Amino acid sequence: MGSKRSTFVYLLLSLGFLGAIILALTHGAVKLNFFNLSPVEKDIFFHVRVPRVFLAALVGGALVLSGILFQFVMQNPLADSFTTGASASAALGAVMAIFLGLTFLLLPFALGFTLLGLAIVYRIASYQGRLLPITMLLAGIVISTFSSATISLLKYLSDDSVSSIVFWLMGGFQNASYGKVVLLTGVLLLITFRLYGQALMLDLISFDEATAISSGVPIYRLRRELLFYGAMLTTFSVAFAGIIGFVGLIVPHILRLLGFTQAQKLIFTGVLSGAIFMVLADLLSRSVLPRGEELPVGILTSTIGGLFFLYLLVKRRKSLYELD
């Protein structure tokens, strides 16, 4: 992609992000006017709407970036936090912490279970130095199924908190806060800047292992590092917003179709596009029902993403079977 076209796309995405933020801040169950806010509207705006919109943007960017990382590591365009079982593993860890009454350890529990789930998927999908795409998807399904079954058991055994767990698992930003916004901003920025310095190595590992190793890339150490970053981004996203599926699959694929295949460009456009996608999805979830009820955003993204995933499976089935 030429530099002029890239610059135009960057500018378009920046304007789209600004427009999505303004639209989401002013619209919803209650429409707000920046220049004429009553005391009640000011309270809604600063204590509800602002943290919610910015947390949605951050979670969208984090999920897309984690999807990009999983796709580079697994060498599979169908990999993301949902299809690899990472989201379900993080949710299991979080629910386990809630069940044990250790909510102050929710993030460590979620991160530990995410890393464990990813390690199992990676181990199963590796064979004689190759990563097998179909095997990876099947391993991700197994991890997700096991995690979901265990979560169901914990819900059954925990009558007091079952309703809050169920609603949280559907995905949403109703519990947004400035603390979560600040924490996720720090995590996302640190990982993004770190990946910018590794962009060339990311491009190299997207080819075969022999090419990457002959180019001096510490491929096994790099894969472990990238999986850790992906686990971190998934963990914070799930802990703060529940399970929101397929965002890391849809956005990167569309960007690659537009010509953004180099890691450095894909990272920047991916984070920004993911933020736009999630802000608009959350706005739609707050506005789509006629009587002002809120539709969990995870239901919306899973519906869109499920259809998109089916399309990709049908379109790429020949190449996937040839690789496995």
Q: Divide the 324 residues of the chain into consecutive groups of 10 and give the mean pLDDT of each group.
A: 76 95 89 84 92 97 96 85 92 90 90 94 81 83 94 82 73 92 97 91 81 81 92 95 90 89 91 96 87 83 85 67 46
Q: Which domain holds residue 51?
A: 43-323
| Number of domains the chain contains | 1
Report the pLDDT value the prediction gives residue 295, as an integer from 0 to 100. Answer: 85
Amino acid at 157: L
Q: Using alpha carbons only, what angle is made at residue 35 by residues 30 and 38, rounded to the nearest 5 degrees?
A: 55
Task: Give residues with Cβ within 8 angstroms of 141, minimum separation 6.
Answer: 85
Could you tell me if residue 27 is inside a domain? Answer: no
Q: Which H or E element spans position 127?
A: strand 126-127
Q: Between the CA of residue 11 and those of 16, 65, 216, 304, what are the distances in Å? A: 8, 20, 35, 26
Q: Using alpha carbons only, what angle is made at residue 308 by residues 3 and 89, rounded to the nearest 5 degrees?
A: 100
Could you tell me if residue 10 is inside a domain? Answer: no
Report the pLDDT value the prediction gives residue 277, as an integer from 0 to 100. Answer: 96
Could you tell me if residue 12 is inside a domain? Answer: no
The distance in angstroms from the start CA to the end CA of the chain is: 31
Could you tell me if residue 29 is inside a domain? Answer: no
Could you tell me if residue 250 is inside a domain? Answer: yes
Cβ–Cβ under 8 Å, residues 195 and 267: yes
Cβ–Cβ under 8 Å, residues 137 and 261: no
Q: How far apart are CA 64 and CA 233, in angstroms?
A: 9
Could you tell me if residue 201 is inside a domain? Answer: yes
Report the pLDDT value the prediction gives residue 228, as an integer from 0 to 100. Answer: 94
177: CATH: 1.10.3470.10
Amino acid at 58: L
Q: How far apart are CA 111 and CA 291, in angstroms?
A: 38
Q: How far apart are CA 14 and CA 9, in angstroms?
A: 8
Q: How far apart are CA 244 and CA 88, in angstroms?
A: 10
Q: Between the CA of residue 2 and those of 6, 53, 255, 271, what are the distances in Å? A: 6, 33, 15, 20
Cβ–Cβ under 8 Å, residues 241 and 171: yes
